Amino acid sequence: MKKCYIIYNPESGYKKNKLDTKICEEILNKYGYNIELLKTHAPGDAKKYVLNIDKADLVIAAGGDGTLNEVVCGNLERKERLLISHLPLGTTTDVGKLYGFTKNTKKDLELMLNGEIKNVDIGLINNRPFLYVSCMGNFTEVSYQTPRKLKRMFGKLGYFLFALKSIGKKLKRYHIKYEVDNIKDEGEYTFMFITNSSRVAGLNNIYHNVKLDDNMFEVALCDVKSKRNLIKTFYAIRTKNINDIPNIKYFQTNKLKITFDDIPKSSWCIDGEELITDTKTYIFGIDNTCQVLLPKKNVEKLFEENK
């Protein structure tokens, strides 16, 4: 039989959405896999597991976007890459929904095992991988600072409840110099989003026609000067084309350099987790060597080779 490792985070998601190991064993055995469960106990465990696996026919990251990110990070450091997939159990699971998963374990395993293997573009920030988003700016820390207790009890609402604490704070603006495809510019921005997804923070269709194999990522630099303007901008993102929003600079590229005046006190948010750095310059690129087993549901929409 084939060998499958399931690396799972028991803390992911809310209390009603936990890994059902019996269903995993039943479905995967039916498709000819022996499974081994690897439970994470601390940040970094999922990456260590991937690095220490000798051989495997499939590695499933069962958890939130952060668990999948760690599995990808470990995989990209291996000489012999592993075939990976995702079983979304987190609170928001932006990547899982983008790929076409449902958060129903039995259904998702069937979708996965009847799916297609695709090379997926992985973003890099100073050579640190991210699957779908690398961002900095006001309120972006909510993703990684919201206590697990709130997320387990209230799901997505937990993020909103925690974010209420920051409502009264003054909006920060960051002066940056940036270079896109050898064109240099500078400005002050409230948010910086570098993404490879049409879905971020639970918002769908932020960008149109995003492809996961076009060797490109999306860049949005947003200049918001007031909270009233912030609300208008978020509404515009939901209702307009990103190119038509006046206080957002938008690019598609595979080469970006951002330099702050000083080392920023804020951290980047990488796939929902905090990235702590001690530099003022960030170089973004792409790795397209990671193979992912995905449901067929969104393949035609998400991949150029299926046009």
Q: Is there a single domain that holds both residue 187 and residue 225?
A: yes
Q: Is there a single domain that holds both residue 212 and residue 294?
A: no
Structural domain tally of the chain? 2
pLDDT at 152: 58
Q: What are the tens digits of pLDDT across the range 247-275?
A: 889 999 999 999 999 999 889 989 888 89
What is the pLDDT confidence band of residue 159, given thresholds at 50, 70 and 90?
very low
Q: Is there a single domain that holds both residue 298 and residue 203?
A: no
pLDDT at 146: 57
Residue listed under structure tokens 């604490």: 165
Q: Is there a single domain that holds both residue 283 and residue 149?
A: yes
Q: What are the tens digits of pLDDT across the range 198-218?
A: 777 656 667 777 899 999 999
pLDDT at 231: 74
Q: Is there a single domain that holds both residue 281 and residue 296?
A: no
Amino acid at 111: L
Q: Is there a single domain that holds both residue 136 and residue 271?
A: yes
Q: Report how far residue 95's alpha carbon sits from residue 93's, in angstroms, rounded to the nearest whole number.
A: 5
Q: Is there a single domain that holds both residue 6 and residue 121?
A: yes
Q: Is the dihedral angle over the CA atoms 218, 242, 203, 118 positive or is it negative?
A: negative
- Kindly report the average pLDDT of the chain as a whole number: 86
Q: Is there a single domain that holds both residue 85 and residue 11?
A: yes
Phi, psi of 212 (to 5 degrees): -95, 5
CATH number of the domain enclosing 46: 3.40.50.10330
The mean per-residue pLDDT over the stretch 158-184 comes to: 74
Q: Is there a single domain that holds both residue 205 and residue 266?
A: yes
pLDDT at 148: 64
Structure-token pair, residue 90: 């987190």
Share of the chain above pLDDT 70, in %: 84
pLDDT at 235: 73
Q: Is there a single domain that holds both residue 62 and residue 175?
A: no
The mean per-residue pLDDT over the stretch 19-23 comes to: 91
The mean per-residue pLDDT over the stretch 220-244 comes to: 77
Q: Is there a single domain that holds both residue 279 and residue 292?
A: no
Using an 8 Å Cβ cutoff, are 282 and 258 in contact?
yes
Q: What are the tens digits of pLDDT across the range 131-148?
A: 999 988 866 665 655 556
Structure-token pair, residue 75: 């995989």
Q: What are the tens digits of pLDDT across the range 46-68?
A: 999 999 999 999 999 999 888 99
Range of the domain at 104: 2-125+288-306
Share of the chain above pLDDT 90, in %: 54
Q: What are the tens digits of pLDDT across the range 176-204?
A: 999 998 899 999 999 899 998 877 765 66
CATH number of the domain enclosing 151: 2.60.200.40
DSSP state of 51: H
The mean per-residue pLDDT over the stretch 77-100 comes to: 89
Phi, psi of 34 (to 5 degrees): -90, 140
Q: Is there a single domain that holds both residue 189 and residue 138?
A: yes
